[in-house]
Structure 1
């Protein structure tokens, strides 16, 4: 993925412009703001899910399902134990989380600036 967060932000703006020109019925500021909202909402949902996974919320559920699967379906696979598999919070990618968090925050800041501009006009 992109290591430079500003190049990635510019790519996001190009995606917003593409969404704006393809799906807008009229080319005005309100439809551009809506296009920014669509992409920023996508990033916000991903970042919030990653934040929840990072905190270990899904660890107990994952451990319980693995234990239930092992008890119900006795597999004689001794090489792969269900207790040794990493939990979701242990497999967390912090650098991806930081990059996506920056994109979500920057898109939301741009959205708020354009909304203030729209409602002051």
Structure 2
């Protein structure tokens, strides 16, 4: 069985392969500048996904979701033992392993992109 730590590296290999495939398929010219652009798009996606997940995990939207569920139950007047109160909140659906995986992918891809930018502008 693969340990959780190895998932990060396997994901990084998959992301590196994905960036190469996207670079080969969609780049007009095959140079370092376009590869840096592809890495930027992928790392930006991961960092935005991490930011959204971090906000959800921080219980920011829990009160809003709870209020909408309660209001919806009152409007419909469906009182089946207040089942809206027993549903999971958005912060309970996100695990810390998921957050660390997404953050690791975004940071490593951004670091590789910055190193390639330094090489490109030297």
Is the structural similarity TM-score above 0.5? yes
Mapping 1:1-121, distance limit 5 Å:
3=4, 4=6, 5-78=8-81, 81-120=83-122
Note the C-alpha offset of 1:90.
2.1
2-structure distance, mates of 1:117, 1:61: 47
1:21-51 deviation digits (Å, cap 9, x = unpaired): 0000000000000010111111111100011
Q: How many residues align?
A: 118
> 2: distance between equivalents of 1:110 and 1:52?
26
Q: Is the 8 A contact 2:43 2:109 kept in 1?
A: yes
Instruction: Tell me how far 1:84 sits from its aligned partner.
Output: 1.6
Q: Is the 8 A contact 2:73 2:79 kept in 1?
A: no
Cα-to-partner distance string for 1:49-84 (whole Å, 9 max, x where unaligned) = 011011111111101110110111112433x61112
Deviation at 1:106, TM superposition (A): 0.4
- The unaligned stretches of length 5 or more in structure 2 are none
Equivalent position SS for 2:84: coil
